[in-house]
Amino acid sequence: MSRGRVLNMSDLTPNPRALDCLDAVADVVSVDADQTRLVEMIPDFDAYFASLHVRANADVLNAGQRLQVIATSSTGTDHIDVKLAEEKGIEVISIKHDYDLLDRFTATAELTFGLLFACVRKIPFAFDAAKQGNWARVLFRGHQVAHKTFGIIGYGRLGKMSAQYARAFRMRVIAHDPVPFECEGVERVDLHTLLGESDIIALHVHLTDETRGMISWDEFDRMKDGVILINTSRGGLIDEEAFLSALESGKVGAAGLDLIHGEWRKDLYNHPLIRYARTHDNLVITPHVGGATFETESQAIEYTAKKLADYLRSLT
């Protein structure tokens, strides 16, 4: 391949020179992330450095007649139609399996506990009241987490970090993962046991065809009344209809989400979960900021750019 062209829609604010390594092998054009613009521009590019805010869907992949590779500086790839890319022979580069790099990134596990305390101490709602001069502290009486049971579904990199943090807060920690593990201070249990014994449940699972909708009606029925649910993985893991029912009934006492299924839709204001959160105080949602720290994004973008540069060199 002669000198290629790379379309970049990733935000380079954390590291403006992160893509400099591509200069030796390709011409890079950076534009703001926009779905319509992506479809219009992709026919003229060999590579796409992806933004999480737009989707490399069928419209994009069908339009990218010369597209050979998509790079994303993320572990998740649900913003990319990976199956169609594979069918079209388009390589997808991510950092999903770059464990030495990922072990430096604690931001998402940290946010798990940010969301947890937002739920159990009602911090967002207490802050709203304080800003209005309402000092009604008894309205925001919450719970301490010490001596509660913290259940982790998915004992991978982030699950292990969350276990360390939970133990620091004096919680009993149990975890479920299909891969056997042994860890001092963490009890491995089956999923049904975890659902039934946990006061707090944290999801740290990759979204696949097998895990999509894994938390649904039956799983909510098995949970303790008033359980706290934290999801910093992917929205598609949870059956939305069952989840809303559990929130409304109090089966789920509170939930903290960093993502929701359908976060690319243009009418997010009317998303059922966002609509619910506007009128209830047992749901806290953040806009997929788990990995959005300067430290994490700077390293992830630069590392992914180097992987993309190596791949483009391999084509020459």
User: Do 73 and 121 sit in the same domain of this protein?
Assistant: no
| Judgement on whether residues 268 and 132 belong to the same structural domain of the protein | yes
Choice among 219, 288, 297, 302 that is catalytic: 288
Shared domain for 113 and 247, answered yes or no, is yes
Structure tokens at 58: 């069928």
Note whether residue 102 is domain-resident: no
What pLDDT is recorded for position 264?
83
Residues in Cβ contact with 243 at an 8 Å cutoff, skipping those fewer than 6 apart:
215, 220, 252, 255, 273
Domain extent at residue 38: 4-97+295-314
- Residue 159: give its domain's CATH number: 3.40.50.720
- 102 in Cβ contact with 75 (< 8 Å): yes
To the query of whether residue 302 is one of the catalytic residues in this protein, the response is no
Q: Which residue among the candidates 234, 271, 297, 302 is catalytic per the annotation? A: 234
pLDDT tens series, the chain, 316 aa: 578 999 999 999 999 999 999 999 999 999 999 999 999 999 999 999 999 999 999 999 999 999 999 999 999 898 999 999 999 999 999 999 999 999 999 999 999 999 999 999 999 999 999 999 999 889 999 999 999 999 999 999 999 999 999 999 999 999 999 999 999 999 999 999 999 999 999 999 999 999 999 999 999 999 999 999 999 999 999 999 999 999 999 999 999 999 999 888 889 999 999 999 999 999 999 999 999 999 999 999 999 999 999 999 999 7
Alpha-carbon span 52 to 292, nearest angstrom:
11
Residue 234 annotated in active site: yes
Tokens matching residue 80: 């990319």
Residue 43 domain-assigned (yes or no): yes
Q: In the prediction, which pLDDT does 169 show?
A: 98
Helices (H) and strands (E) in the chain, counts: 12, 12
Q: Return the biggest CA–CA distance within the chain.
A: 68
Residue 1: the pLDDT is 58
Catalytic residue among 219, 261, 263, 297: 263
Within a domain: 153: yes
In tens, the pLDDT along 13-33 reads: 999 999 999 999 999 999 999
Quick check: is 241 catalytic?
no
